[in-house]
Amino acid sequence: MPVEEKSQTKQANAWSWISVVVCALLLGATSIKAWNFGRILATDGLLSNFYLLNFAIVGEAVAAIFILLARPNMSWLITITVFSGFVVVASYSLMSGVDCNCFGDRLGARISFPIDIAVLLLCALFRPKVDQLSFRIPCNAVVAAGLVLGAVLVAAANIRYAEMKRKPLAFLLAEDLVNKKWPINGNLDSRLSELEKRDWLILVVRKDCSHCQEILAKHFKDPKTHRSNERTAIFVAGGNDWPFLFDSVSSLIDESMMLSWSHEEPFVASPAVFLISDGQVTAAADGDKSDKMLERIFPVQPGSSRDH
């Protein structure tokens, strides 16, 4: 066998192994999206739109099957195209601060960007030189296989999301709780029975959330800030134990008051703000909308002061 032909064969063989790794990476990413479907929709990330998230799951599944089953040079071309797009999305995410949801709601662009660059580097180093552009199996079968896989993942994601929404504390989302009973009450901890009486302003924040720290510094420079005839409470999410505090709003809480979850903690699009009246949620906002709600609750006017 001529030397050049042997080199091309080695390149093709090397790419075959790389295509398996890239396929596994894509299937992992799309599976994580499907598993965390509801959590992604509840965030302000790039894939928080229902239809866009479904499209992303199906699209990545189809791309994974193409990359695995296509001839080496076609597989290489598809990989270059897909991951170049991923680099653009991850770059935008890093510059804008908006989560790309590449690996669900927890692993953002700081993880996905170097992975995407690494895949493109492998493409540059191991470009197959085989000229054949035909598929190992018919093109229609490849498309069908990818679509079937994508459809299965989307169906599973939507079924799981619907089931989780029926659980009272799977998601602690503002839009779902308005005009409903506040779920974190005396049934979970007797000390929380106070929240079932009178009017309350309740905040749910996370210690690792910079946005949460910003609104606390802006609206609760004095932790005792409150409105007349209204009490305040704060919960610090971020694990199976949530410290909480009444009548003082601060993320630095004495952990003597702790709510422990017997299962996974509820998902919260922090920061979240809830107005409660006699145990009923009357208004709520989370994520970016929480700022506007707090500005309405605590309008800053010249010469005005807040109750303390």
Domains along the sequence of the chain with CATH: 3-165 (no CATH), 174-297 (3.40.30.10)
CB contact at 8 A, 280 and 181? yes
From 42-46, 123-127, 166-170, the region with the lowest mean pLDDT: 166-170
Spatial CA neighbour of 201 closest among 285, 301, 304: 285
Q: Between these two residues, 262 and 122, which has the higher pLDDT value?
A: 122
pLDDT band at 133 (very low <50, low <70, confident <90, very high): very low
3-state secondary structure of 280: strand
Query: What is the pLDDT, as a whole number, of residue 274?
Result: 93
pLDDT (mean) for 206-223: 84
Query: What is the pLDDT, as a whole number, of residue 300?
Result: 61
Cβ neighbours for 68, distance < 8 A, ≥ 6 positions apart: 19, 20, 23, 75
Query: What's the CA gap between 183 and 250, in Å, rounded?
Result: 22
* C-alpha pair distances (Å), 262 with each of 11, 106, 240, 265: 53, 22, 8, 8
Q: Which helix (H) or strand (E) holds 34?
A: helix 3-35
DSSP strand E in 198-249: where? 199-206, 231-237, 241-246
CB contact at 8 A, 272 and 266? no
Spatial CA neighbour of 90 closest among 103, 102, 82, 104: 102
Query: What's the CA gap between 254 and 252, in Å, rounded?
Result: 7
Residue 182 DSSP label: -
What percent of the chain stands above pLDDT 90?
Answer: 11
Position 229: which residue type?
N
CB contact at 8 A, 284 and 172? no
pLDDT (mean) for 209-226: 86
